[in-house]
Structure formats: C-alpha cells, structure tokens
Amino acid sequence: MHGIGHADPKKGEDGTELPLSELKPDLHKMLLGAHASDKDKINLYGDFWTKLTDQKRPNRIPVETLMSQTLIAHRLWCEAHDSLDRFISIKKVEFWCDEEKHQVWIEFLMDPEDLGRVDVDQDTLLEKSKLSGEYGPEKSRKQTEAALYRYRMKRPVSYGRSPSEKLNELASEFKKSLSRTVLSAPPYRKYYLYLHNGSEKLIPQVLSMYALAFCFGSVARYRPLLFESILQQKYGAFISEFLTYFPNQFLYLMASEFAKREVTRAAIV
C-alpha cells in the first residue's frame, strides 16, 4: 500500500500497535499504541486522526476507553462494567436561520425521560457531553414539543448570500460531539451524545471502532487461546456482539466520511 497525496510514494502502515507484552487476560487493561507519520513512514491511523479531529492524538489509548466509547453493544458493556449508559439519543437536530441578521445556528431536542434514565438533568447533560460552552437551554418552539428539552447554539454563524453556505461547516463541527448508528429504514441515522467520564475526550467514532477491532484481531491472531478465554469472561458478550455488527456499521460510516454525506444501505421493499 502506498500513501496518496505525499510527494514521494512511501509504504503506508496501519499506525496502530498492540505489543505482545500487552496481550493480557484483563482485556480492559491493555494499552493500544497509535503513531503519527514521519519522514520515513506513513502511519494511516495517525493521518486519519488529524483529518477527523483537532484534538491531540495520544500515543497510548486504553482499551477500556475504546470499549466505553463504542456505541455498538454499549448496553452489554454497561452490564459487564456495572455502569449506567453513557450514550443518550438525540430526538431531533434542526438548522435555523435569521434572514435579517444573516445568521445560522443549530438546535437539538432531547427527551427528559432519556435523561432521567441515565440520572442527568438538563444542565448536567451539557456539562457531561462537553457542550456547555457552545449550547444552552432554549424555550420550546412548538406546543407538540413542550415536553422535550431544546438546546440552541450560543454563538450563531454569519453567512453571506445564502444560509446554505454555512450548513456544512455547522454540521461538521457539531458532528465532532456525536456518535451515530446506521439504520436501514428512515431516518437512516440515529444520533447520540456521549456522557464523558471525568476528563476523558471522545475519540472520533470510526477511529475508536477501527482501533477496537484491531485490538480484538491482534489478540485472536497472536494469542488465540487467550482470546477464547476472554470470550468466556465478563466482556465476552460485548465482544461477540461488537464483532457481529462492526463490519456493516463501519463500512457505511467510512463511506460517509469519504463522500462527505450520509451513505446507507438501500431499504428492502
């Protein structure tokens, strides 16, 4: 494989690493290495990281962090970890504009029952999802949505001739705070906020999914008996379900990144 977009073609490598010394029965205690490209070698994972996020890439990523931030089989991880859900679904995302001021912004709605299920209130949701600096509570705009919590961007974005000029910019920035599942029927996507545990940062979804699949694959390849043993332990159900649903979810999420639009499978009729 050769790097695309580099002046001198060089061999591209994966960029993730799980040393044999890290292959332990306690899967969640493993540390995954993540490397940047240098003048001699292209590390694809590191390059992809810089394309998707402006947050600093850690050199070592705890596998426990990858597991907790994976939307696939999240309920099984919560059960094994004896933890409340860390993902909470968004009911609706809306784009709004003020034609007089030439400003556009995002608003989103949440169901109070979903917040109660994970023991957070309207303000705590913003704090735990790391959105308190960018969004604030807003009054309901429709009587039919009076029972829902509405949040609005604090700093609208100005546009020139048309609001559509800034929609992609707005969506791209908001997407950094979201995880999503691919559905085969309308609305074809379901979006979630992640409730951070302390100071941890949300790893972009496709990066965490890929890294976790790499981790499981490395254990299965180099320590197959250890992997069989891990499947019998408390995270076994989580791993099995992750490996079942990972291929299709990852395929369409990656296709969406490259196409810069949501890509999904055709509905069966």
Classify residue 237 as exposed, middle or buried by CB count within 10 Å of its CB (0-12, 13-18, 19+).
middle
* Angle of the 236-259 helix axis to the 224-231 helix axis, nearest 10: 110
Q: What one-letter code names the amino acid at 82?
A: D
What is the reported pLDDT for 12? 54
What is the reported pLDDT for 52? 83
d(CA 40, CA 10): 7
114 three-class SS: helix
Helix or strand run (H / E) with residue 68: helix 63-68
What is the reported pLDDT for 3? 31
Contact 161, 149 (CB under 8 A): no
d(CA 229, CA 13): 30
Q: How open is the CA angle 156-161-167, to the nearest 5 degrees? A: 45
What is the reported pLDDT for 4? 33
Residue closest to 196 by CA, chosen among 172, 177, 171: 177
Task: Report pTM.
Answer: 0.86
Q: Which domains does the chain carry?
A: 1-84+199-215 (no CATH), 87-194 (3.30.1460)
Q: Which two tokens stand for residue 94?
A: 């809306």
CA distances from 103 to 43, 96, 112, 167 (A): 40, 8, 29, 11
Tens of pLDDT, residues 84-129: 999 999 999 999 999 999 999 999 999 999 999 999 999 899 999 9
d(CA 105, CA 153): 6
d(CA 192, CA 88): 5
d(CA 245, CA 191): 17
- Give the residue ranges of the chain where pLDDT is below 50: 1-9
Q: Which two tokens stand for residue 150?
A: 């509405």
